[in-house]
Amino acid sequence: MSRDFKMTGISIGSGLNKCAYHCKYCQIADFKPVKYTFERFVKIIERFIEYKEKNKLKDFEVSFWNGYSYDNQIEELQKEMELYKKVANWELKILLLGGLPHMSDEVLKDWYIKRKNIGSEFVTATYTGCKELHDYWNTKKGNFDFLLNAQKIAQEVGLANEQRILITKSSLKDMDKLLDILDETNINVRSRVAYLFFYSGLARKYEHERVTMELLDKQPKRVQEIYRTDKNNWKSEKDWVEYALNNPSHYGKGHVDLTLTDKNIEMIESMSCEEIIENLVKRTKLAYSIAPSQEELASKYSDKTSEKLYMFLWDMEALWMDRYLKENPIDFERGLTHFGR
């Protein structure tokens, strides 16, 4: 049985906020940098906000995503903050350090203060292992030290700190050492959580790094204490098979994805909101109608003995889809579906 899809809104994505790195596991590597202006991106978002208001579409969600670094012009970040408030009543307070280029302490201080003045409240750094191991994953020598120092400077200027730690087989071996270093810095950390790679983007190449529940449960108490609170919902592939066979699909409805590129932006600007939505819904429905059902993927393309852990059904299904596509190389707009997250 093929899948149906019901549209609940639109998510508009750009690659405007460039990332300074090339992490080996980057999960958004498909977002290519673009040359069009921020103003053109904003105009399209505003058109959809207006469309929603004009047509009184209370349940139609407009969302957007503009890259990870927030290393854009301060006026642009301010505009993003206003737009988030408008479309989702959400306050953008976070500064992700992941994509930020290395810079001197003075320049970084200034970078922080400018953002703090318009409402940024906290910084988040993501570590994948300790020192050299982190730099190996990040592919930039000295990135571990830069992140740690950036968190100290954030504290000095009055920004709060959060830490995320990615769990792989190799980073788990390093975890005690990493926690020692993070604790020794005397940074006040209001949240520190550890979680797995999603099965998406380049991270799909590192299945040999995927851990099992048994391995997680064997770690020292201090490591177990920082697992993200949804750990109880993480499942082995074996358990996801059972779940998928006994539960309806979660992905029968959702937003359509509009990814703005240098190639399509002119065409999108010339189309009405109705035309854009109609086109995306048609293509998304087609992609889902071609995709095998959840039951078919779970029963035929899973490894029913695998103890490797996945956090969500969508990343589990993306792996099953990869196996399916090896046998059945169909022409399929994967990026419009949850298989392409």
Stretch that binds ligand SF4, among 22-30, 109-117, 227-235, 288-296 (CB under 6 A): 22-30
Q: How many CB atoms lie within 10 A of CB 302?
A: 21
Tokens of 83: 């737009």
List of residues 6+ apart from 216 with CB closer than 8 A: 167, 224, 227, 231, 309
List of residues 6+ apart from 137 with CB closer than 8 A: 23, 24, 25, 128, 129, 166, 171
Of 115 and 285, CB closest to ligand SF4 = 115
Of 23 and 216, CB closest to ligand SF4 = 23
Of 29 and 49, CB closest to ligand SF4 = 29
68 binds ligand SF4 (CB under 6 A): yes
Give bridge partners of residue 166 from the DSSP assignment: 195
146 binds ligand SF4 (CB under 6 A): no
CB of 150 to ligand SF4, least distance (A): 13
23 binds ligand SF4 (CB under 6 A): yes
In whole angstroms, how far apart are CA 195 and each of 60, 274, 310?
31, 39, 10
**What is the C-alpha separation between 167 and 248, in angstroms, rounded?**
29
Of 92 and 291, CB closest to ligand SF4 = 92
Rounded to a whole number of angstroms, the CA Rg of the chain reads 21
Answer for which of 13, 15, 99, 129 binds ligand SF4 (CB under 6 A) is 99
Of 151 and 302, CB closest to ligand SF4 = 151
Stretch that binds ligand SF4, among 18-26, 172-180, 239-247, 286-294 (CB under 6 A): 18-26
13 binds ligand SF4 (CB under 6 A): no
CB of 164 to ligand SF4, least distance (A): 11
List of residues 6+ apart from 174 with CB closer than 8 A: 129, 130, 133
Answer for which of 10, 12, 16, 19 binds ligand SF4 (CB under 6 A) is 19
Answer for which of 12, 16, 26, 268 binds ligand SF4 (CB under 6 A) is 26
- Report the run of H or E that residue 9 belongs to, with start and end: strand 6-17
Stretch that binds ligand SF4, among 23-31, 169-177, 192-200, 207-215 (CB under 6 A): 23-31
21 binds ligand SF4 (CB under 6 A): yes
For residues 56 and 284, the answer to whether their CB atoms sit within 8 Å is no
Strand arrangement of the beta sheet that strand 6-17 belongs to: 61-67, 6-17, 253-259
User: Which positions touch ligand SF4 (CB under 6 A)?
Assistant: 19, 21-23, 26, 28, 68, 98-99
